[in-house]
Amino acid sequence: MTPLASALSCVARAKIVCTSGGNSQLGKIHLLLLGGVDEGAYVRLKGGVDLELRARMRYEIIEDDREGMGPFRVTTRWYEYSLQESGGQAVVEYHWHPGGKSHEDRPHVHLGTAQLRPNAVMTKKQHLLTGRVTFEQVIRQAIEYGVEPLCADWDDRLTAAETPHVLYRTWSVAPNMR
């Protein structure tokens, strides 16, 4: 939780919570939420734009017997990161939900209704394929949109938080995207 909390602290004063046993229990899919126990909760961000952030992630603590790695690690099983205007209009949503209700189980992004004209070629239902998106990338994107960082060293904090994930992840582009 520490890297994610460090990344979040760059733009918001909010809690990251997880389901019971989410810090130590193996063999169970845990849920991580921003801002409290409500899965629909958004955290308001400050700055020149009026944005709110929601982050939900399902993860599992697993054994890792790779040389110099273990004995345990966290593996992401599903994520949804969303930026919306304070009025509730989606701006952009980053999804990866294998085994979900959608036919698309590869990492993808949705442009929100706030970004699309009624007669646009694309709709908010369109799946724009991406590689794996990290929480830290979403925070960076929010800052690029105009969210005010809460600390001067935000770039260094985001890099420090994301680096272990990037170095040790077992995939970054879903096999069927290559």
Mean pLDDT to the nearest integer, 154-162: 96
The secondary structure of residue 113, as a DSSP letter, is: G
On average, the pLDDT of the chain sits at: 88
Q: How confident is the model at residue 11 (pLDDT cuts 50, 70, 90)?
A: very high
Query: What pairs with residue 56 in β-bridges?
Result: 33, 80
pTM: 0.86
What pLDDT is recorded for position 18? Answer: 92
Q: What b/e sequence results for 114-123 when a residue is b if at least 16 CB atoms lie within 10 Å of its CB, and e otherwise?
A: eebeeeeeee
Mean pLDDT to the nearest integer, 156-161: 96
Q: What are φ and ψ of residue 2, in 5° steps?
A: -60, -45
What pLDDT is recorded for position 174? Answer: 58
Query: What tokens does 111 get?
Result: 């442009």
| Residues 142 and 119 sit within 8 Å (Cβ to Cβ) | no
Q: How confident is the model at residue 178 (pLDDT cuts 50, 70, 90)?
A: very low
What pLDDT is recorded for position 47? Answer: 87
pLDDT in tens, 33-50: 987 767 778 899 988 888
CA within 13 Å, CB half, 151: 15
Distance separating alpha carbons of residues 29 and 113, to the nearest angstrom = 31
Query: Angle 162-132-74 (CA atoms, 0-180°, nearest 5)?
Result: 60
Give 149: exposed, middle or buried? Use CB within 10 Å, 0-12, 13-18, 19+.
buried
What letter represents residue 56's amino acid? R
pLDDT in tens, 86-141: 888 889 999 999 987 888 889 999 998 878 877 777 778 888 889 889 999 999 99
pLDDT in tens, 49-91: 889 999 999 999 999 888 888 798 888 999 999 999 988 888 9
